[in-house]
Structure 1
Amino acid sequence: MDHSHAGHAGKVTWRMAASATLHCLTGCAIGEVLGMVIGTALGWSNAPVVVLSVVLAFVSGYALTLVGLRKAGVDWRKAVRLALAADTLSILVMEIVDNGVMVVVPGAMDAGLASALFWGALAFSLLVAFLVTTPINRWIIGKGKGHAVVHAYHH
């Protein structure tokens, strides 16, 4: 089965890129929000909250891809390799952007879980991460990498 998607290099649409980014954002957001909620609830300082959020975002992002690949009948070893190849750059960019936004929004990291500032900044950070990561995913898919690697298994 050819997974290179080289034939799609000139045909990658913004819709394809947005779909791949939304998939990645879903996985990342689960871990990101969980990390922010846990760290904030425990009263941790910004650095450990960000580290926890990033770790959980990678875990949940990869897990979401692994579930789809395993449902498609891909064995564990290959599924892990595909998930790492498909999602690493996208998750990395998304995490840099959304955590960066959270840190630079005045008071967002210290606002507390009952604060509209915390939740508004978190939602805004995920939106900005989506907007920054979508063109990167479009370029990556056009090169036959990233989400293009697992695309054949989604059908």
Structure 2
Amino acid sequence: MHDSTVHPVHGSTPSVSWAMAAQATLHCLTGCAIGEVLGMAIGTAVGLPAAGTVVLSIVLAFVFGYALTMRGVLRAGLPLRAALGVALAADTVSITVMEVIDNTVMVAVPGAMDAGLGSALFWLSLAGALALAFVLTVPVNRWLMSRGRGHAVVHQLH
């Protein structure tokens, strides 16, 4: 069992473990991955140009990322408007970092965007892009949470 609380150290600066930051990043990755995979799959299936597919993926990643956070926050009893504010505060930086990383990888891998849904190149590139986005976003989330921002905002509601 793990401790999911943020512990204050030296006044009001919370101490955040790497495990806690990884858990928050995994939560964020779930929503991002749903949107990213759907966007890439839809864009590729309908033959959108790479830029259109990337835009669709980014939009859907934010929609699903915010929606997953809002679902939990609404269950905690916050009204819709407040829940949206919490989701924006908790996820915007994390989703942005993930989207920059994973879409950059997808565009940078030769042929990945044009490979098609039946191609191992497409799916391996997407999986690798999401894995790299996770690894590089964990320190960002740890830094945010240690300053009472990002997913630390959501933890206050649990």
**TM-score normalised by L of structure 2:** 0.92
Q: Deviations over 1:7-27 (max 9, x none)?
A: 263521000100000000000
1:134 and 1:59 map into 2 onto residues whose CA distance is 21
1:47 and 2:51 correspond? yes
1:123 and 2:124 correspond? no
Runs of 4+ in 1 over 6 A off after TM superposition: none
Q: Deviations over 1:113-144 (max 9, x none)?
A: 00000000000000000011000000000000
Q: CA deviation at 1:64?
A: 0.3
Q: Structure 2: which 5+ runs fail to align?
A: 1-5
Which structure shows the bigger proportion of residues in helix conformation? Answer: 1
Q: CA deviation at 1:152?
A: 2.3
Question: Out of 29, 38, 48, which is 2:42 matched to?
Answer: 38
Question: For residue 94 of structure 1, what is the amino acid of its counterpart?
Answer: M
SS in 1 for 2:29: helix
Question: For residue 99 of structure 1, what is the amino acid of its counterpart?
Answer: N
Of 72-81 and 45-54, deviating more is: 72-81
Residues 4-83 of structure 1 aligned to structure 2 (within 5 Å)? 7=8, 9-83=13-87
- RMSD over aligned Cα atoms: 1.2
Q: CA deviation at 1:33?
A: 0.4
User: Are the aligned partners of 1:6 and 1:144 in contact in 2 as well (CA < 8 Å)?
Assistant: no
- 1:95 aligned partner: 99
Question: For residue 45 of structure 1, what is the amino acid of its counterpart?
Answer: P
Greater RCO, CA 8 A, separation 6+: 1
1:6 and 1:143 map into 2 onto residues whose CA distance is 11
Q: Deviations over 1:72-103 (max 9, x none)?
A: 11111110000000000000000000000000
1:11 and 1:148 map into 2 onto residues whose CA distance is 11
Q: CA deviation at 1:6?
A: 7.7
2:41 and 2:64 map into 1 onto residues whose CA distance is 15
User: Are the aligned partners of 1:61 and 1:87 in contact in 2 as well (CA < 8 Å)?
Assistant: yes
1:141 and 1:42 map into 2 onto residues whose CA distance is 39
1:68 and 1:91 map into 2 onto residues whose CA distance is 17
Q: Structure 1: which 5+ runs fail to align?
A: none
1:122 and 1:65 map into 2 onto residues whose CA distance is 23
User: Are the aligned partners of 1:6 and 1:143 in contact in 2 as well (CA < 8 Å)?
Assistant: no
1:11 and 1:88 map into 2 onto residues whose CA distance is 21
Aligned sequence identity (%) = 63
